Each structure stands twice: as C-alpha cells, then as structure tokens.
Structure 1
C-alpha cells in the first residue's frame, strides 16, 4: 500500500454554464454545483480520506467543505492550488475570446495570464508538499480547478509538455486518483464520478473538446 491523492474539481458555477473564463475570479457554486459537491462528498467519504486541502477560491473551498462536514476533517487552504490565471480573458466567454484574440485562442495563451508550465509546476508542487505530510497509506483529497489539476497531474506523471493535451479535462465534481509508487506517481483513475459529457472549464479547447 502507498499514499494516494484524489484530485477533485469543484462543482458547477454560473460562469461554467455561460462558458466564461473564471481563472482567479472568485465565483461561487450555483445550486447545481452545491448538489454536485454533496454527491461527490458522499462518494469520497467512503474512501476514508485522512487529509483535505483546497484552493483558496470559494468554488473549490466550498466543494471541499462538503466533504469535510461528512468526514470531520478540517480543510487546509493553499493558494498554489488556484486555477490558471486568465489575465484579460477572465469573465469573457469562449466566443468573445475567439473573436477578440483568434491567434491567442488557438494557442490558449491569455494576454496577461499564466503560462501552462508555470501552473503545472505550481500545482504539482503544492500536491507534492501536502502528500509528503501523509502517513503511510494515507489519502489526501485536493479540491482545485479543471485546468490547474490537469496540468498538475501531467507534471506529476512526468509527461512531456507536447503530450499534455492527451489527458482530457475534468468535469465538475469529478476526480482523478494518483498513487505514489517506487518510481513516482501513477494515474489510477481519471475524470471519475460522472458519465462522459461536455466539459465547461477554463482548460484549453484541446483538452475539453470545446471548439
């Protein structure tokens, strides 16, 4: 047995529905997102997590808190688990971004936003720090964001950047499971907890199949 990490994306927000880039903007869960968080909590509580940590943005923190209430665990907060910053794109829809920045849209590089490699390092570093505090056979649940988690997972798995789009996006309140082995981290499950459906996320169109 070894340490495991559940990477849990937050529940739905109104901006997810409207396909707006959220980034660091602090958007609350909508009614559907609150229900999604409660459902995910009921499923993940059965795994008996031993530690909970969340992004400082409330859509992630409120998702983690639903699990905290069931398990009796406190939710630690780490700003390094924030979503990828969207710069000038925050609050804009996909259509508005495509129309205003066609070249940058294709590369999914927001003016004034964060570089994907930086976000991958930031999130992977945070997950690694918290996982290192686990007891043997402990289970950490990390509540974060779609692009942030996908990029962090890719970095933890040691994937070259040109292959990062091969790992698909995460649906709202879906999760991925990582296990620490002798040769590093391996992916046990990805985008679990939901049936395949369109994903509304700040993640790149290549990862979310959102053209």
Structure 2
C-alpha cells in the first residue's frame, strides 16, 4: 500500500503578515498571498493528482483554485482540515495574549496536548481530526495514487509529525512556509519526506 501526499499551505493573509493568531478565522488571501499561490502553479501543473482535499476556510480554497488553475480534479472540502481553534486568542498577537491572558498562555504552553486556549481546542483534539482525514485518504488511495491536501500550517505540521512517527507536540519543529509544497510518501513500513517548503 502506497499513498503519495502533496501538501500545500495557503498563501499569506493580512493576519499572517501581522503575526496574529489566525486559527479558524475565515480570512481571504491578501495580494501577496495570491501572487504566492499563482507562483506555485507551475510545480503542480504536471502532477498526476487523483483527488484534492481542502480546508473549508476561504484562504485554503482560494489557494487551491490558484495552484490548480485550468485543471478539473475531484475536490473534497473537509472542515477537519481547519487550523487549530485558538478560541479567544484568534486575531491577537503573541504579545497581546501575553499582556491580556498570561496565566492561560503559560498553562497552554506547558501542556498544549491537553490544555486548550480559552474557548479553543487542545492539540490532541486537533491532531485526532487531522489524522482521521489522512487515515481515510490512505485507505482510499493505497495504490500509489497522488492526493493533494491544501490546508493550514498547523495541519501540515501534524501530518508531517504523524508521517515521521513524531508526537503531535513536535509540530513546532517543522516550519511550513505560506504557499509552499511538501511531499510525503506513505508505505506500509513507514513514510518518506521527499520535499518541504518548495516554491
């Protein structure tokens, strides 16, 4: 059983540019983000993509449309591919949170796996929904097919952790740049990361 995943993070938004926690806020790409996504198109134009899975947030859908312009590929929109729900912290910078909610921030940083931001979700909950999507893809496309996932930085970091047998708490060890391409091939015995942050 072999499944090849191409992973694309959405292009830049205004919240990305201002280093604000975006989470599940439904923000569009900014002009720079659209240019980033368009620049990725040549890398995907010849890829034999069997299906596309995309987050339902507009920045991911906009990116999908731009990187696959001119191609008609079966697309599944899945809410489980949304970014981590940062709850009350969405729209704030790290410094804002530190100033407004230092105790909750410290508790979250001490145990992200089991502790959620106020009105948000834990890393364990986030990882479970992302891993369920990947498990479904691997079960359905196990004969060497290529599947494209267009989603968010945290989602792709968790996919990389799972592929390389790292715990979800290691997600921060992967920097996934906006509008970049990664490639992971899953085999029965494990997975190989072939590319990361290709533009």
Structure 1, unpaired ranges of 5+: 194-211
8 Å contact from structure 2 (residues 56, 78) kept in 1: yes
**Partners of 2:170 and 2:26 in 1: how far apart?**
30
Query: Residue deviations 1:155-179, cap 9 Å, x none?
Result: 34321345443x3221101132111
Structure 2, unpaired ranges of 5+: none
**Partners of 2:24 and 2:171 in 1: how far apart?**
22
Specify the SS of the correspondent of 1:40: helix
**Partners of 1:89 and 1:140 in 2: how far apart?**
33
User: 114, 120, 129: which is aligned to 2:127?
Assistant: 120
1:40 matched to 2:40: yes
Greater per-residue strand proportion: 2
1:136 matched to 2:121: no
User: 149, 154, 167: which is aligned to 1:160?
Assistant: 167
Specify the SS of the correspondent of 1:27: coil
Q: Which moved more, 1:54-63 or 1:43-52?
A: 43-52
- Highest relative contact order (Cα 8 Å, sep 6+), 1 or 2? 2
1:147 matched to 2:151: no
- TM-score calculated relative to the size of structure 2: 0.86
Aligned residues: 192
Specify the SS of the correspondent of 1:152: helix
1:111 matched to 2:118: yes
8 Å contact from structure 1 (residues 119, 152) kept in 2: no
In the alignment, what sits opposite 2:196?
190
1:26 matched to 2:26: yes
Q: Cα 1:164–1:36, aligned 2, differ >3 Å: closer, same or farther?
A: closer
1:178 matched to 2:184: yes
Q: Cα 1:35–1:131, aligned 2, differ >3 Å: closer, same or farther?
A: farther
Aligned-CA RMSD value: 2.0
8 Å contact from structure 1 (residues 9, 149) kept in 2: yes
8 Å contact from structure 1 (residues 116, 151) kept in 2: no
Q: How far did 1:17 drift? A: 0.7
